[in-house]
Every structure is written in structure tokens, then in C-alpha cells.
Amino acid sequence: MVKQRLSLVTLGVKDVAVSQAFYESLGFEAEPFDSSDVVFFDMNGVVFGLYGRAALAKDANVSVGDLEDKGDGFHAISVAINLESEAEVDATLAEVAAKGGTITKPAEKVFWSGYSGYFADPDGHLWEVAHNPFWSFDEDGRVMLPSKQATN
């Protein structure tokens, strides 16, 4: 049985310093760490990391592939920041745009009855910023899915 955990999300980036500066400009606080090769952000239970694309590929023992082509392309993955209101989604995307993020999709009402927009970071990694009226948060801001809400 594999433990049902997701402990760390690592983005392979072209320039760790550039990406760290971008996320810090959004207000994220990096963990103190004596290395310029990797940066960790404590996402309150899950860790968000930045690491060089080539180094990440090497670490996983996979081919780097045509990184330049993939740099601005679709990585078949996204991460999301879920918020308590549509207004907070709009304000967040506005700040991201002001800080140099590329808005790939302005927030709008979506088919699952929520409100969602997307931005791309300096490497084209996709972040959704969304409000889901069916999801709530615990006191630490962690998403509480319906099944967990029912038990609390």
C-alpha cells in the first residue's frame, strides 16, 4: 500500500533565481536554505520547490528533451490556489499580472459552478486561481473536500 501523500511539488525552471524572485514578488516566503540550486516554500503541509530543469531531469534520470520548446508550452499539469471568494480571485490575478505573470485565462464563471482563471509563471508553469463554492478551508487554509467537511 502506497501512502496517499503528496509532499512536494517541484517545478523545473530555467533560472532558479528568476523564478524565486517572481514567487517572492507575489509574497511567498522561501525557507532558509543554504543553496542557490534549489528553493523551498512551505505551503502549509505540502512543499513547493524550484529546481533547475536540467538538474531535475538528471535527478529523475530522464531525458531533458526540447526544453526550449516546452518552456512556454503545455506541461500537462497545473497547480492551484483556491480562495474564499470571486473578488479574491480577481484581486490575486491582478497582482500576479502586475508582478509579471502571464494571464492565460482571465477569471470567469466555470461549468463546475466555480470561478477560475489561470496564469503562467516565467517558465510557462500553469497556476489556476479559483473559488470553489463546494470546498471550504480548515483553520490553516487547507482545502477541505466535501467528504472531510462531513466528518468535521
Please enumerate in sequence order all residues whose Cβ is within 8 A of that of 136, keeping only pairs 6 or more positions apart, or say none.
144, 149
Whether the CB-CB separation of 116 and 130 falls below 8 Å is answered with yes
Least distance (Å) between residue 51 CB and a copy of itself: 9
Among 16, 89, 107, 126, which residue interacts with a copy of itself (rule: CB under 8 A)?
Answer: 126
String of contacts with a copy of itself for each residue 51-80, x by CB under 8 A: --x--xx-xxxxxxx-x--xx-xxxxxxxx
* The three three-digit cell numbers of residue 87, written as one number: 473578488
Q: According to CB under 8 A, which residues from 16 to 35 bind a copy of itself?
A: 26-29, 31-32
Query: Does 113 contact a copy of itself by CB under 8 A?
Result: no
Q: Using CB under 8 A, count the residues that bind a copy of itself.
A: 74
Task: List the grid coordinates of 38.
Answer: 534549489
